[in-house]
Amino acid sequence: MSYRLERSQVQQRAVRVLKDYQINKLPINPKEVAAKAGISVLPKNDCEPGVSGMLLRNGENFGILYATYLNNPGFENFSIAHELGHYFLDGHPEQVFKNSNIHASTAEFVTSDLIEREADTFAASLLMPEDIFKDQLSRFEKGFTCIEAMAKLCNTSLTATAIRYAELTEDMVVIIVSKNNIVEFCCISNNVFKLKEIEKPKKGDKIPKDTATEAITNNPALLVKSEVRYAETRFIDWLECRSSRVAAEEAIGLGKYGKVLTVIS
């Protein structure tokens, strides 16, 4: 059986969970949510690469294991929240436990698998609730500064925070996660559509030449150094549009897997 939840249904479910448990302050601690739902949560240091966490079922009891190999508390929080998505979302338990009592996840927007993406959307909505997140945005300078500050406030990874920022900001912003100068994921804020006849970069597209992103990707030392590189650019260099508007490119290496996060704003 395949099914599909509306994005708004997924987001509303996360809002309901927080309301039911009377959790309304940043940072949202997914372990607290799990505890209130009676789900035990444990770290696991020997997950296969790519596996972010697992949801386990034994009759009516559920448990969550989360991968610690990235050594990134923000990513761990997201992984736990992703598993909570499989627990709370309608139809998910039936789907993920169809063939076994263990579901292994690939969280944080790396797969196009629908059920995983729904759990990612749930995780983002749980850890970065729309209302509270938006209230804070105006406090910070736009672009990477804002993303970094919000990641600290929410205790979430830069990648997940950047994607949520693009969803909720009034700024014009393009977020790209790439590896080996190839786009793996891209999202754009609503206001980017003002640039007219937009076509956003797709998975598999090449990163433009002579950019900060390319410089980081081609330098193994920079890839693991958490330092932002800045370059002046134009939106038209990154996406198809009918505007030559100038923009800022900010890029940072995401660590040992060679990925780079790029923020165009």
Residues that bind Zn ion (CB under 5 A): 105, 116, 119
Q: Are strands 174-179 and 61-67 parallel, antiparallel or unpaired?
A: unpaired
- Provide the minimum distance between the beta carbon of 155 and Zn ion in the complex, in angstroms, as a whole number: 20
Residue 27, preceding peptide bond in cis (omega within 30° of 0): yes
Q: Which amino acid is at 88?
A: F
Distance CA 201, CA 188 (A): 10
- Provide the minimum distance between the beta carbon of 25 and Zn ion in the complex, in angstroms, as a whole number: 27
Residue 20 in contact with residue 45, Cβ under 8 Å? no
Q: Which residue number has the CB closest to Zn ion?
A: 105
* Tokens matching residue 121: 């959307």
Could you give the 3-state DSSP secondary structure of residue 200? Answer: coil
Q: Quick one: which of 66, 68, 52, 71 has its CA closest to 255?
A: 71
Q: Quick one: which of 23, 19, 100, 11 has its CA closest to 55?
A: 100
Q: Which helix (H) or strand (E) holds 112?
A: none
For Zn ion, the closer of residues 119 and 252 by Cβ is 119
- Provide the minimum distance between the beta carbon of 65 and Zn ion in the complex, in angstroms, as a whole number: 12
For Zn ion, the closer of residues 105 and 233 by Cβ is 105
* Tokens matching residue 54: 């697992």
For Zn ion, the closer of residues 105 and 178 by Cβ is 105
Distance CA 130, CA 168 (A): 7
- Provide the minimum distance between the beta carbon of 111 and Zn ion in the complex, in angstroms, as a whole number: 9
Residue 137 in contact with residue 153, Cβ under 8 Å? no
For Zn ion, the closer of residues 123 and 260 by Cβ is 123
- Provide the minimum distance between the beta carbon of 52 and Zn ion in the complex, in angstroms, as a whole number: 8
For Zn ion, the closer of residues 119 and 150 by Cβ is 119
For Zn ion, the closer of residues 105 and 155 by Cβ is 105
- Provide the minimum distance between the beta carbon of 105 and Zn ion in the complex, in angstroms, as a whole number: 3
For Zn ion, the closer of residues 123 and 128 by Cβ is 123
C-alpha of 22 from chain center? 24
Q: Which amino acid is at 140?
A: F
- Provide the minimum distance between the beta carbon of 119 and Zn ion in the complex, in angstroms, as a whole number: 5
Residue 225 in contact with residue 195, Cβ under 8 Å? no
